[in-house]
Structures are given as C-alpha cells and as structure tokens.
Amino acid sequence: MDWLRHIPLLSRLLLVESNGMSFLDAMPLLYNGILACALAALVSSFLGVFIVLKRIVFVSAALSQVSALGIAISILIGLFFGIHFGEGEQNGFISVPAVVSFIFAALAALLLAIQVGERKITRESIVGISYVLPAGLVLLILDKVAVETHEIDNILFGNAVFVSGTQLFLLALASFFILAIHALLHKEFIFSSFDPDSARAMGIKAVAFNQLLYFTFALAISISISAIGALPVFSFMVIPATAALLLSDHLNRVFWLATLFGVFSAFFGFYASFVFSLPTGSAMLAVSSFFLLPGLVKRFAFR
C-alpha cells in the first residue's frame, strides 16, 4: 500500500492520524470492515430502490428485527443445551445464529410478501407488529442472557470495524447471489412491483417474483446486519434510494446513483469514523444523508 503515499491529495487524507495511528497504517486491521461496509452498502442501496418504490420501508426494519430475533433465539437455545454461540463461534465456516437468523428473516419475508385481503387488519399493522414484537422479544431474551450481552450485541447488531474473514466471505457470496438474481430477473421485478395485476394478466408470475424479491431483501438484511449492524443497513436501504429518486426521473439512473451514493457513504463514513473517533454505523448514516442535499436543492430551487 506504500504507493498510496505518493498520490498527493490522497496521501494527505490517508496519513491523517487518530489516536497515534494513521488511517493508512490502520488499513490492514480495518480492511475487512471497509470491504464489508462497501458490499453491504452496494447491495442494500440497490435493493433500497425497490423498497422505497414499493413503499415498504418499514418491511426492511421489520425484517431486521425478525432476523435479530432468530439470532437471539438460537443463542438462548444454545445456552439451554450448554452450547456457546459467542463471538468465537464466528470463526467456524457458517455461524449457527446467522443461519437461524436468515431462516427467520426468509420466512418473515415470505409472509410479508403476501397481499393481505383481510379487511380488519391493515398491512401497516402487520408490518408494525412484525417490527415491535421481535424487538421486544429480543430485549426479553437479552435480559435472560445478560452475562453475555456484549458478545450478543456484537452478533445481533454487528461491529462494522472488525469483521471476520468468514463474515466477509459470506457477505460477498450473498451479495453476488442477490445481484445475479437481480441481473437475470430485473425486468420481471420491475413490472411486478409497478403493476402486479397487469403483470399477472399478461403472463408474468407476479406473485412468485414478488416473493423472490422479498427473499433477496431477507438474505441481504440478515447477512448484512450480522456483519455491520442494523442502523447502517437500514439507512443504506432508505437514504441513497431516496436521494437518487429526488435527482432523476429515469429508473436505470436511479439504480446507479443509489448504488454509488451507498458505496461512497460507506467509504467516507468509515473514514470519518476513524479520523473523528465516531461510531462507524452512525458516521456512515450521517454521510449518506448529505447525498439528499442535491436532490432537495433541485426539488425546491428548480420546481
């Protein structure tokens, strides 16, 4: 990485010191974290366009809570049988809590994808219950396993700074899988999201595509949250897409812009958190919110 020291502006940025160590020197330690944040941002921001357009922002919040509940339950059951699912367990190839969390999120996604015809229960209330019930249950479980709260917090809400090689590998694999599905089925996902009735009438299996789309949300959320935490994942799913939608009237450009905003937010947020000793997730969220400004200026100044 020594060649980076010879690039004029970049070297000044990279050699900024915090707690007696420059960013460049800390890179080997932070490398996994930076890559994990960038990958999670890329996938979440891309999927975020669907989430914002389908007006299901709180579905992603609910999925993150269900995913956390899966982790908490697996830890509780593990403790009951004397199995320790602490941070050390992350060194194995696949973490049991992560698998359980994904199964929980996938099942919740399939249920939330169903259009409810029931008149007395609104969709909003179902999403609300799916958010608040797991959130409460996670707190109850954490209370029961209070001894290991710190370790569980890390598994539940991730630690964007120190990401294990296994977590990074799983995140990369999941990201590739999700983006491949979207590359192959992009047009079907768009039609089924925009006008499901017409899509179905004109021979597109809209219900199946909608469920598959939700499945990709569940996979992205469960894997990303265990790697970098709930707050940055939720912000990547909402803010870059909104910023892009404020700027462009063309769907393809919106996808590109949202993805770029997300990845830039991850890099600059991570850097800012190192330089100013800030919490990494919150720093990434703060940086991503700056991308809302151009769209807001365009909206209010040129309308």
Partner 1 sequence: MPVQIQLRDLSIGYHKKALLSGISLEIKDGDFWGIVGPNGAGKTTLVKTILGSIPPIQGNIEKSPDLIVGYVPQRGTLDDIFPLTAFDVVLMGRYSKIGVFKRVGKKDRQITLDLLEKVGIPQLAKRPFRELSGGQKQRVLIARGLATEPNILILDEPTDAMDIEGESNIMKLIMSLHEESNITILMITHILNLIANYAKSLIIVHGDGVFESGETEQLLTDENLKKIYKIDLDVHNLHGQKYVVVHSHEVQHSHAHSGHAHPHTPSPARTKKKWPY
Rule CB under 8 A: which residues touch partner 1? 52-53, 55, 117, 184-185, 187-188, 190-191, 193-195, 197-204, 245, 248-251, 254
What 8-state DSSP symbol labels residue 94?
Answer: S
Min CB(238)–partner 1 separation in Å: 14
Contacts of 263 (CB under 8 A, 6+ apart): 38, 41, 42, 45
Min CB(210)–partner 1 separation in Å: 13
Tokens for 22? 């420059």
Q: How far apart are CA 84 and CA 30, in angstroms?
A: 27
Q: Which helix (H) or strand (E) holds 18?
A: strand 17-18
Q: Name beta bridge partners: 36.
A: none
Q: Between vectors from CA 130 to CA 259 and to CA 265, what angle results, nearest 5°?
A: 20
Min CB(201)–partner 1 separation in Å: 4
**Residue 67 contacts residue 104 (beta carbons within 8 Å):** yes
Of the pair 11, 248, the CB lying nearest partner 1 is at 248
Of the pair 250, 298, the CB lying nearest partner 1 is at 250
Of the pair 125, 252, the CB lying nearest partner 1 is at 252
Tokens for 114? 């169903």
Min CB(114)–partner 1 separation in Å: 14
Of the pair 185, 272, the CB lying nearest partner 1 is at 185
Of the pair 151, 188, the CB lying nearest partner 1 is at 188
**Residue 288 contacts residue 240 (beta carbons within 8 Å):** yes
Min CB(259)–partner 1 separation in Å: 15
Min CB(302)–partner 1 separation in Å: 15
Min CB(169)–partner 1 separation in Å: 27
Q: Which of 223, 222, 226, 243 lies closest to 285, judged by CA? A: 243
Of the pair 123, 200, the CB lying nearest partner 1 is at 200
Q: How far apart are CA 272 and CA 286, in angstroms?
A: 10
**Residue 40 contacts residue 227 (beta carbons within 8 Å):** yes
- The DSSP result for 38-54, as a single string, is HHHHHHHHHHHHHHHHT
Of the pair 28, 117, the CB lying nearest partner 1 is at 117
